[in-house]
Amino acid sequence: MATPIGIKKRVVIVGGGIAGSVLAYNLQHHADVYLIDPKEYFEIAWASLRCMVEPSFAERSLINHREYVKNATVITAYAVGVTPNEVRTNQGRGVPFDYLVIATGHDDRTAFTKTEKISRYRMEQNKIKSANSILIVGGGPVGVELAGEIAVDFPGKKITLVHRGGRLLEFVGEKVSNKTLKWLRKKNVEVVLGDSVTNLNSSTNGVYKTSGGRSIRADIHFLCIGKPLASSWLKESVLRDRLDERGRLKVDANLRVERCRNIFAIGDITDIPEMKQGYLAQMHAGVVEKNIKSMIAGKEKLDAYKTGMQMAIVSLGRSEAVAQISGVTMIGCIPGKMKSEDLYVGKTRKTLGLRS
């Protein structure tokens, strides 16, 4: 049955990352939207490493939630539980819903205000500037992109990247890994594969030991490994049996949580077997937007999510990148033009109705 004219359904969105933010923006004029997020801002996550070498970049990549959801209610809090009809926050508040969307992604205990976050980026930049040698632990996209940013902006630094895997960027093909390794070494980044640092938090005089018997001297280090999913708050809730063994929410073709009529999940927290990428999270948001609008209108037919084109682009400094798009591998200025110059910040801001 359609919602009576003049009465708006309440949509509660938990998580203010790319998926939750885009959905809140697009639904704010069609429902009574509540966005619950522990931070006061949305961060364009794939721009964060640029901010470490250029903190002023964060003025555009950090966006206060109230800048783009002026017709929604923003609740700055952690969600700590969910019942069949409300979300509980760490402030003791119950937020009732007609529709719930869980978009909490990965657990990132970070700064709560934009000012504090920019201050942290300035501190990271100062650490990089003052260091002669830098250790990066982790050879996934975060470790590789950070190494690229530092190598390009501070070419005189001694950078060592240690990765326990046999190749870099293991989520894509070997051609991408090999091209990336060659690029990093050309920039004088020492890459150590198949090894791991054993005394990361207890180094002596800046000397780090590895399981393979190496000694690496570095003034500072950055740990660039994957963050855990932000789903622990669901383990004692009515959705506890909808979590898989990795803590991801099981969803159906319409992106509804299994056996739930009015609860959806989008972004990295879902169990969809695909690359966890920002553009795919935005596609999730688009499907759920349509489905909630259809349900409010009393329509029975819902849209099904179809995985988008498998694409990965990893920035290598300010003008180059390595990419795998539909099985094709490329490196250099062409993929760099696609991502590295602005890191999609202008495009993302426009998606939220803001000036680029």
Residue 323, phi then psi, degrees to nearest 5? -140, 150
Structure confidence at residue 32 (pLDDT): 98
Structure confidence at residue 6 (pLDDT): 62
Whether pTM > 0.85 for this model: the answer is: yes
How far does Cα 13 stand from its chain's mean position?
A: 16
Cα separation, 285 vs 267, in Å, equals 8
Structure confidence at residue 322 (pLDDT): 98
Structure confidence at residue 33 (pLDDT): 98
Instruction: Provide the 10 A C-beta neighbour count for residue 306.
Output: 8
DSSP, res 17 = S
Structure confidence at residue 59 (pLDDT): 98
Give one DSSP letter per residue of 95-148, joined into a string: EE-SEEEE---B-----SSHHHHHHHHHHHHHHHHH-SEEEEE--SHHHHHHHH
Structure confidence at residue 308 (pLDDT): 79
Structure confidence at residue 108 (pLDDT): 85
Structure confidence at residue 163 (pLDDT): 98
Q: Which of 341, 337, 338 is nearest to 311 (CA)?
A: 338
Residue 148 and residue 316 in contact, taking contact as beta carbons nearer than 8 Å: yes
Cα separation, 63 vs 45, in Å, equals 11
Residues of the chain with pLDDT under 70: 1-6
Residue 199 and residue 211 in contact, taking contact as beta carbons nearer than 8 Å: no
Give one DSSP letter per residue of 184-237, joined into a string: HHHTTEEEEES--BS-TTS-BTTEEEBTTS-EEE-SEEEE--PPPBS-GGGTTS
CA distances from 157 to 55, 118, 150, 221 (A): 19, 23, 8, 13
Residue 246 and residue 13 in contact, taking contact as beta carbons nearer than 8 Å: no
Q: Which domains does the chain have, with CATH numbers?
A: 10-38+77-108+227-308 (3.50.50.60)
Structure confidence at residue 331 (pLDDT): 97
How far does Cα 255 stand from its chain's mean position?
A: 19
CA distances from 237 to 142, 180, 210, 234 (A): 32, 43, 41, 5
